Structure 1
């Protein structure tokens, strides 16, 4: 493994962390306007992601840091449908803003950070099932980005009355708090989101060998 991979991983993390940190984001938006800030943030994220992909492809696998347990690969197959459900629910359910969150609805009754939690589950499950240096850097970086987002969003929510009230009613840990009850959460989640999450998972199973050279279900053979 080479130093460029580690440097590109750091830049990728910073491209997400620095512009979105409380205090930095409002200052940049005040100076550049929302469209300018979003364009800069998106461009920075894409550039650093591109650098990371190039460095990842150029690096060899490196040494083996640990040997995954036999149950690690089946655990990935078990966790990934949950990750896809969280991500699909996140992009299809309105949240409002961190300064003025909407009343919790659907997936937000179950957890207030479904997108970051889905990314974190994906990263940690894959990290546990790998072991070579290159993929450890990849999944550790993604896990760090997800954890940062959870902490950052919670920090912003604490800074205003609406956010504090939202935090008091909800939980980052799934099912720890259920405003309105589990029945309301499941009813608002709906069958379409369930079908969409499972369809996305099935699609990833199909394209995973082509994209990454290995079937997620190789352990069943």
Structure 2
């Protein structure tokens, strides 16, 4: 693990956190226009990602920080489909704006932050299944981005009456609102298309994982 990798991780986090900070996005759009803001944000995100990939590769294998438990890798394989489903459902389902959220439907009955929760689950699962320094930095950065997004969006929801009502009806923790009786589980609203799409994406990731990251998720079989 090197200083370059840590700095690249901080820069990657900043490119997600700063533009989405309340007030920053409208201020930038007012001065750059929506097209200019999108172009600047996209360029910054690509630059941050490229720098992180470069620093990650330059860091080498990374020194071991801990030895993962024997059950860690099978747990990742078993639960990653849920992460893919949460992210796929978020991408294909609109949540509305914080001051006017859409009524909870589909995956939003399970958690009000499906995309961020899917990313957080992805990071935490992989974090406990790896032990070298550079991958710990990678997954801690992913978890930090997801946690920041959830905290920021929850704060925005608290600012308006519609957002506060939406918070009462839903939960950040998956299935908590359903178990508390504030929501009902309706898998039909999620749809088989999203489930099959998430499983297909997961299968594709399993297939390319050895090529992209040098290790098969199924090495323990």
Equivalence for 1:130: 130
What is the aligned length? 218
Aligned to 1:197: 198
Secondary structure of 2:97's counterpart equals: coil
Partner of 1:219, secondary structure, is coil
- In the alignment, which residue of structure 2 is the partner of 1:181? 184
Assess if the C-alpha contact under 8 Å between 2:177 and 2:183 holds in 1. no
Offset at 1:161? 1.8
Q: How does 1:1-221 map to 2 (within 5 A)?
A: 1-178=1-178, 181-182=184-185, 185-220=186-221
TM-score (norm 2): 0.94
Per-residue deviation, residues 72-131 of structure 1 (Å, max 9, x unmatched): 101110110100111111111121122221111100111110000111111111111111
Q: Which ranges in structure 2 are unaligned for 5 or more consecutive residues?
A: none
CA distance in 1, matches of 2:60, 2:205: 25
CA distance in 1, matches of 2:105, 2:151: 21
**Cα contact 2:85–2:195 (8 A) shared by 1:** yes
CA RMSD after TM alignment:
1.3
Alpha-carbon distance between aligned partners in 1 of 2:200 and 2:110, rounded to the nearest angstrom: 21
**Unpaired stretches in structure 1, ≥5 consecutive residues:** none
Tell me the TM-score normalised to structure 1 length. Answer: 0.94
Tell me by how many angstroms 1:180 deviates: 5.2
Partner secondary structure for residue 196 of structure 2: helix
How far the C-alpha of 1:169 sits from its partner, in A, is 1.0
Instruction: Note if contact 2:169-2:183 (Cα within 8 Å) is conserved in structure 1.
Output: no
